[in-house]
Amino acid sequence: MTDQELLLLAEQARENAYAPYSRFLVGAALLAADGRVFLGANVENASFGATNCAERSAIFAAVSAGVRDFVAIAICGAKQGGRGTICTPCGICRQVLSEFCNSKLRVLLGNSEEYREYTLAELLPHSFGDEVKA
């Protein structure tokens, strides 16, 4: 799977975003070590705090399917009507990613024509987690 293919899947996942409140649509495509891809979109709620981001939708789908080993995630977000642009994962999603992904996880932001690449370590330095795991 190429980076462009993963980004294209994130763009396609974005089509299922439910964001009537912010009108900011996000899609994510999470590539597992076994080659499987898990998709997610943001799902908003009238009680705003119940909203789920695209990245967490994807990772919860993967973990629910028994998959916990990941190599990359592509994220594509933009206002409704716009093309996917650089949408960096929110702090909660960075923390959730760090629960299941090592710091080398590749994070691709953008769309299939233009993107930037980071590692999870770059986006979430000095992360919390190991201290509390038994």
Catalytic residue, from 5, 44, 55, 122: name it. Answer: 55
In the complex, minimum distance from the CB of residue 28 to ligand THU, in angstroms, rounded to a whole number: 7
Which H or E run includes 72? strand 70-79
Identity of the residue, 23 or 133, whose beta carbon is nearer to ligand THU in the bound complex: 23
Identity of the residue, 106 or 130, whose beta carbon is nearer to ligand THU in the bound complex: 106
In the complex, minimum distance from the CB of residue 51 to ligand THU, in angstroms, rounded to a whole number: 5
In the complex, minimum distance from the CB of residue 33 to ligand THU, in angstroms, rounded to a whole number: 23
- Closest CA relative to residue 41, chosen from 68, 7, 18, 72: 18
- Closest CA relative to residue 16, chosen from 36, 37, 52, 40: 40
CB 71 within 8 A of CB 41: no
CA distance 38 to 25: 17
The question of whether 55 is a catalytic residue gets the answer yes
Q: Which residues bind ligand THU (CB under 6 A)?
A: 19, 22, 24, 26, 42, 44, 51, 53-55, 87, 89-90, 93
Residues involved in catalysis: 55
